[in-house]
Amino acid sequence: MPEIPDEIQEMPPRTSPLEVGRDINGEMPGTTVYVPSGVLGIDTREDFMETYDVNTVIQYLGNLDFDTHIPEYYDCEDRAFWGVAHARYRFPGLPIGVVSGHTSQNHPIPNQDHAVIVMWQSVGRDNQGKAILKPILYDPLPNLPTGYNRLVDNFATVKSVIGFPVGDNIPPIEGRELVPLNNTAIVFDIKRIIYPLHTDDEMGIMDYLKNEVYNEECIDREFHTHAVGDTTFEDKWIDCDKALWAFAHVRRAYAGCTVGVAIGREVLGIPIAALIIWYKEDGEIKHKFWDPNSPEEDITFTPLKIFA
């Protein structure tokens, strides 16, 4: 069994890995193929989207513990998804997501691949009464230079946008043209670590997920409250949010793990979602789908879009 990489010793995983450095780009299920760029749209219908005061959301994000930045294994995308998952839990229906791309020369880490949180602020309504959304980028990068504003708009190029609530509307990122994900998958990092699904002491990935350890051990548990009434939470914290919630936590508990979120067909107008988990069995890389709503460990699922 390989040793835990030196890079992640400061945030050690719950169990030892089975394989280090695995590339999962060629291990997609069915007809799904890896693509280097794309967009996962948002649902702007009032039944699913709720706008909030952006300054309140920013203040909330500023209180979260985003943990250590570890290149490849727990880096900017993971930290951004941590913020998005918690913000969606605190502010159900909030239009928010993760933008990845290449920074500009003016960024504190110039000319580098990077990812930040994007929020969409309502700035009015069009002639059809639909919300007009303006993107606001928030950078949770640690150890920023003095005076650096976390609200940024300095990507030289954009690689991907993963938005919530999940839908078909292309969220605005000014001056950017991206192809919607369709039977395709975005994978943010090449180096991945395969962990056991189960261990005798119940420290494997599936032990962690099925026992919902992430709800009990979350470092930001004190912020697991809702800004609005329970009815709004039940209506607007939906299937994709539950998958995102588990994903953000398992990626932190098992740095670099081979886990992603798969989006499937719509049921009653709402996309269904599950985690996709790549694992090793008899020397081969396989995958399974896990639904946070189901007692089953492996469900039948046809993904249309994946991010991992």
Q: Tell me, what CATH number does 287's domain have? A: 3.30.460
> How many whole angstroms separate alpha carbon 19 and alpha carbon 37?
27
* Whether residue 154 is found in the same domain as residue 220: no
Residue 220 near residue 86, CB atoms below 8 Å: yes
Q: How confident is the model at residue 276 (pLDDT cuts 50, 70, 90)?
A: very high
The total number of structural domains that make up the chain: 2
Is 135 inside any structural domain?
Answer: yes
Indicate the DSSP class of residue 175: T
Which tens digits make up the pLDDT trace of 165-221?
Answer: 998 887 767 546 788 999 999 999 988 999 999 999 999 999 999 999 999 999 998
Is 31 inside any structural domain?
Answer: yes
Q: 136, 161, 181 — which closes off a domain?
A: 181
Q: How confident is the model at residue 111 (pLDDT cuts 50, 70, 90)?
A: confident
What number is the average pLDDT over the span 40-47? 88
Q: 166, 181, 196 — which closes off a domain?
A: 181
* Whether residue 125 is found in the same domain as residue 192: no
> How many whole angstroms separate alpha carbon 135 and alpha carbon 117?
10
pLDDT at 254 over 80: yes
pLDDT at 306 over 60: yes
pLDDT of residue 290: 97
Which tens digits make up the pLDDT trace of 236-250?
Answer: 889 999 999 999 999
Q: What percent of the chain has pLDDT over 90?
A: 59
pLDDT at 121 over 70: yes
pLDDT of residue 247: 98
* Whether residue 204 is found in the same domain as residue 166: no
- Cis, bond preceding 165 (omega within 30 deg of 0): yes
* Whether residue 23 is found in the same domain as residue 66: no
pLDDT of residue 230: 54
Q: How confident is the model at residue 267 (pLDDT cuts 50, 70, 90)?
A: confident
Token pair listed for 17: 């890995």
> How many whole angstroms separate alpha carbon 101 and alpha carbon 118?
12
Closest CA to 184 of 34, 11, 22: 34
Higher per-residue confidence, 209 vs 158:
209
Strands 284-290 and 96-103, by their bridges, are unpaired
pLDDT at 29 over 80: yes
> How many whole angstroms separate alpha carbon 190 and alpha carbon 195?
16
Residue 131 near residue 125, CB atoms below 8 Å: yes
pLDDT of residue 125: 78
Is 237 inside any structural domain?
Answer: yes
Range of the domain at 174: 38-181
* Whether residue 239 is found in the same domain as residue 143: no
* Whether residue 255 is found in the same domain as residue 300: yes
Q: 181, 208, 229 — which closes off a domain?
A: 181
Residue 17's Cβ-side half-sphere holds a number of Cα atoms within 13 Å equal to 25
Residue 158 bridge partners (DSSP): 101
Arithmetic mean of pLDDT over the chain = 89
278: amino acid identity, one letter:
W
pLDDT of residue 228: 60
* Whether residue 174 is found in the same domain as residue 62: yes
What number is the average pLDDT over the span 267-272? 82
Residue 77 near residue 100, CB atoms below 8 Å: yes
Is 1 inside any structural domain?
Answer: no
* Whether residue 176 is found in the same domain as residue 214: no
pLDDT at 41 over 60: yes
pLDDT of residue 229: 55
Which range in 9-13, 48-52, 80-84 is most confidently predicted, on average pLDDT?
A: 80-84
* Whether residue 118 is found in the same domain as residue 103: yes
* Whether residue 223 is found in the same domain as residue 170: no
Strands 33-34 and 184-186, by their bridges, are parallel
Question: Strand 184-186's sheet: what is its strand order?
Answer: 33-34, 184-186, 305-307, 259-267, 270-281, 284-290
φ, ψ of residue 156 in degrees (nearest 5): -75, -40
Is 286 inside any structural domain?
Answer: yes
Indicate the DSSP class of residue 145: P
* Whether residue 231 is found in the same domain as residue 193: yes
* Whether residue 225 is found in the same domain as residue 209: yes
- How many other C-beta atoms are found inside a 10 Å radius of the C-beta of residue 257? 25
pLDDT of residue 273: 96
What number is the average pLDDT over the span 80-107? 92
Radius of gyration of the chain (CA): 18
Which residues, including other chains, have CB under 8 Å from residue 287's CB and lie 6 or more apart?
Answer: 27, 29, 276, 277, 278, 279
